[in-house]
A = this chain, B = another copy of it.
Amino acid sequence: MVRTSGHSRQDILTVAETLIDARAYELDSFGHVNHAVHLNYFEQARFEALARCGFTYDELARRGWAIHVVRVEVDYLSEVLLGDRLRIRTWTEGFRRTSTIFLQEARRDPREGEADSTPVARARVVAVWIGKSGRPRRVPEEILEGFGNLEAPET
């Protein structure tokens, strides 16, 4: 079973969309979601995207593998406040032999009185697959195939 985070099945519009609701303890002393927390959200969305390709976190742990982030680039476009609901889409820019380049966009749903959703952050994340030996290993077939079928979202 693919478990998803904080939402029922019918909420999911595309294969790699994740819903995240900002929680009270994720605010910093400026009263908004801290920029580091967005990396947590994006990580959660990547795990859900991998699970959609049939590669769950449990399976990863069972095999003794890991995924190491080696580079992130994030543009922050708009504040996220308590109660905001985010939709994060995850797709790929491409693959190298042992790494995957993820592209991600977080939009927040309209607040009361707003007509449209607002993009809040965009990320490019390079992650290396680590085998049981602790060394980089080939990107799994499931991932190459699963993500190969994903379309980049129109924005």
Q: Which residues of A line the B interface, CB within 8 A?
A: 1, 3-8, 11, 19-21, 23-25, 27-31, 34-37, 39-40, 43-44, 47, 57-58, 61, 66, 68-76, 79, 82-83, 85, 112
Contact = CB atoms under 8 A, between A and B. Distances in A.
Closest 7 A/B residue pairs (Cβ)? A6-B6, A3-B83, A36-B39, A25-B40, A27-B29, A35-B69, A5-B21
Given A44-B24, A74-B71, A5 B6 contact: yes
Given A5-B83, A29-B29, A30-B68, 7 more contacts: A23-B40, A25-B28, A30-B66, A34-B43, A36-B40, A57-B82, A68-B76
A14 to B, nearest CB: 18
The secondary-structure label for the interface of chain A is: mixed
Contacts of A23: 5, 40, 44
B1 A61 contact: no
Contacts of A68: 30, 76, 79
A66 B79 CA distance: 12
